[in-house]
Amino acid sequence: MSTELLKEIATCIERGKVNAASPYPPDMKGKEGADELVKKALDQGIPASEILEKALIVGMSAIGQKFSRNEVFVPDVLMAAKAMQAAMKHLRPFFDSGEAKHRGTFIIGTVQGDLHDIGKNLVAMVIEGGGYKVVDLGVDVSPEKFVDAVKQNPGASVGLSALLTTTMINMEKTVKLVKEAMPGTKVIVGGAPLTQEFADKIGADAYSPDPQGALEFLNRTN
């Protein structure tokens, strides 16, 4: 019974079915969505961590992998993220109170001078859907602000996003200062102009061209 409900929630996340009122996707019109089903699961006594692990992560991972394979596109991931936010609204209190545990903490931001945040937000949502606490520092984030966040969240991993060839060079200073302030901190970088070669050159621990790769890196290192 609970397995069926968790499967249904995973499908809602993957397909971007937010709630019963949402007409999207058309073939699920009129059916309950992530919002109602997660509440139902909690009312049935299913622990928040189990709902996260066996439903939200499953759904987000499925859409993330399809996005990596170019089988779905940005709007599909945005709808999945919307469904996930509706689900997380019910689960977040359990994580905030410490009753349920995150897999780790991920600090993310778009680097100094850069205002592009669509890709960064997608990465943040997939990582949150992967069971991590996400500290989103926003856009135009200075190296010092990343360092402060790392000091406030010991053990966290850091993600840097850049969309401009003129701002990707700001990543190098951020990687250097973060690693000086908190040696051992894992830093992953991404964004359209980046390459593995560039990531290696600036001393980042990893590069990913997409959100799923960033999540897989965190799962390997946390």
Confirm if 51 and 65 have CB atoms less than 8 A apart: no
Cβ proximity to ligand B1M: between 87 and 214 the closer is 214
- Minimum CB separation of residue 96 from ligand B1M in Å reads 24
The structure tokens listed for 136 are 């989103």
DSSP SS3 for 187: strand
Confirm if 14 and 61 have CB atoms less than 8 A apart: no
Report which secondary-structure segment, H or E, holds 135: strand 133-136
Cβ proximity to ligand B1M: between 143 and 159 the closer is 159
- Minimum CB separation of residue 119 from ligand B1M in Å reads 2
- Minimum CB separation of residue 108 from ligand B1M in Å reads 6
Cβ proximity to ligand B1M: between 33 and 109 the closer is 109
Cβ proximity to ligand B1M: between 51 and 168 the closer is 168
- Minimum CB separation of residue 152 from ligand B1M in Å reads 19
Residues that bind ligand B1M (CB under 6 A): 74, 108, 113-120, 122-123, 159-161, 163-166, 188-193, 208, 210-211, 214
DSSP SS3 for 61: helix
Cβ proximity to ligand B1M: between 55 and 108 the closer is 108
**Which residues fall within 8 angstroms of residue 149, CB to CB, at 6 or more apart?**
107, 135, 137, 156, 158
Class of residue 52 by CB neighbours under 10 A (exposed 0-12, middle 13-18, buried 19+): buried
C-alpha to C-alpha distance for 219 and 127, rounded to whole angstroms: 10
Give one word for 194, left, alpha or beta, with left for phi > 0 and alpha for psi -120 to 50. beta
Cβ proximity to ligand B1M: between 41 and 218 the closer is 218
- Minimum CB separation of residue 31 from ligand B1M in Å reads 28
- Minimum CB separation of residue 170 from ligand B1M in Å reads 11
- Residue with the shortest CB distance to ligand B1M: 119
